[in-house]
Structure 1
Amino acid sequence: MENETIYILAIESSCDDTAAAVLINQKVISNVVATQKIHEQYGGVVPELASRAHQQNIVPVVHQALAKANIDKKQLSAIAFTRGPGLMGSLLVGTSFAKSLALGLSIPLIEVNHMQAHILAHFIEDDDISKMPEFPFLAMTISGGHTQIVLVKDYFDMEILGESLDDAVGEAFDKSAKILGLRYPGGPLIDKYANEGNPLKFKFPKPKVDGLNFSFSGLKTSILYFTQKAVKENPDFVNENLNDICASIQYTIISILMDKLNKAVKQTGIKKIAIGGGVSANSGIRKALKDAEKTKGWSTFIPKFEYCTDNAAMIGIVGHLKYKQGHFSDQNITAQPRYRLSE
């Protein structure tokens, strides 16, 4: 198996993006994502609509991934798919499709933990990526549904050191944006306006949480009360101060993340930091990590934008690594919406 060329078709359907990718060994040959625009009008992901859209998208997305890679399905070594965590209806579509295709082609089926995939995306071989993290390293996974600091000892030996006790960091960004009247998804808009604002203009409280855990619900509430009070005094307050408000919110959230990372580095003595998850596309977080390289002597690993948000390439790299170890799933496997990293 050492010199075998491994062809993996990967499927990701944990939330509202239907994605498929083809990997040959550790290289991504195609990476196709169909984004569901329908949720914008509801200000958040509607699970029922998401699962219906996955049903419509999955066949064309898989077809496109194979066609772009110029790979015939008969060449495939295995099918990798997201088992969880995520929305049950969305996961069911990807799981059912992957099981059926693997059965039809008589090839192995490989289940993947979505959060593990965000971390292992750093092991995709890419012309633009000069270095991969060496074990052990610290991973901070920051997304719409999760905020975790993980000690990564090996590909499949990971320990959660801290996580959010309530809202994830992506929720904090999106809900803050909603308070300001920005459309969904609001996180990228806060990042955009923050680049033009003064991050020290408005001060928001940082929650006091023990250890390496996070809490963002109190911050969200303080932003809500601050905005309501200011708008009562001046109805145009948000429009007149949008850049500064966004910059101040972003500054506070990044400070919370960096404080905990600093604590994790001191606690473990590990200065290799890798980030993953949709929020790692945020320019402020990327800059804070790059600054830490200079001021604290950290080695930081930041994925390409297309491997930050939900995508199938990251599912494929886990599929490749599991294939090499012979970690296959049977046809009785089911989707698991609550799927701990350590399971």
Structure 2
Amino acid sequence: MYNVHQNVQASLGHFRMEDYWFRYSSFVPRLYNWCLDLGFEPGKIMPSRAFCSDESQGYPIILLAKHFGTFPFNHGQVGGIMACDRHGPHAHHGKDLVIVHASHVGYDPETYTFGTYRRIQSVNHRCSSNCGKIHATINWYLNEYEFACRNITVDMRADHCRVTLDNQYLSRSRERSLVLHLEKIVEHNLDGEVIPLSIQSTSRTFMATQTFCQHMSWFFKAGERQPIGDALLPEYFTFHTSLREDVDGSRQLEQNLIGAMPWIVTSAEPMLTAAQANTQAEFDRAYRSISQDKNYRGRNLVYLAGLHVDISPSPEQTFVLTKFIPWAAYVQLASGERYLLEQDALFAKLNACSSENPQQLPLDDAIHMMEEEEEIYLHLPY
């Protein structure tokens, strides 16, 4: 999705969060009522969730079961990836169909930071990364960026700038690496070559371009040679990695994020930015799969994607407090009508629906009834 370099930041910036969220206990009944407004038949709607396997995603699943009256089908894989090979079984399990996809990110209300979550069932209620799959995927890239911030130095002069680059940024032999946009950083001669001013054992020093020098003057004073640090902005680098060996889809999350990775690693909240990017990329990918799948043809279907914000529970809480931030939706009706709703329109549509659902399933009563029936079946001869 993020293959047009200059549009990545704009795409991520269109994912609005402030004032665009619903409490999950409000979101699900609104979604259910919207489906009824579209002509879905009560009692014949098969929801499906495409969530990560994390235990923090359990509460949204419970609420989907409560309001739609059935346990949702599972379209989800670790990291909030959609299993697009499960459309057929899902279509066969209900008359009308709903798919809710969400990437997720933890939020610590005590430190006001994203990316961690308190595990109540762990020893000492320890906090750990959330989503763990996203953290594991971006961790290598974060480390590479931090190394570059320390090992690229800038030497400002009165009328020019010199930049010293670690030798690995001058080599194309690494299969997985941070790649500098040297044409923006280092002066080239008429033949397109870069000629070092000096050569060190592990680095080379070059004359910087005038544009790069002007940019660095916002961060550094003349006569001070120091690491580039967070002045290394996304416009000056990208990442190279080979994903051709991903034959089983296990690196789909990395494929979703690789184009946006310079903006992720330079973000003040990398886990949040990564979760947003994954939601956007995965909706784009899954929408095309769903809209073309023959099993969904002639059916009522809503495919909705967004972001789960898992607010870390206190030791006294049973479940996480989850907020849902909608991103986009695809609507397909049996009449043949098809359309997309972008974030503003989708939020307005959900917000206009009632948050009350008198048809919701009383879970306690349903579980008690099942327990009574279980007692009866205990006396069967098998």
**TM-score computed with the length of structure 2 as normaliser:** 0.28
Larger Rg: 2
Structure ranking higher in strand proportion:
2
Structure ranking higher in helix proportion:
1
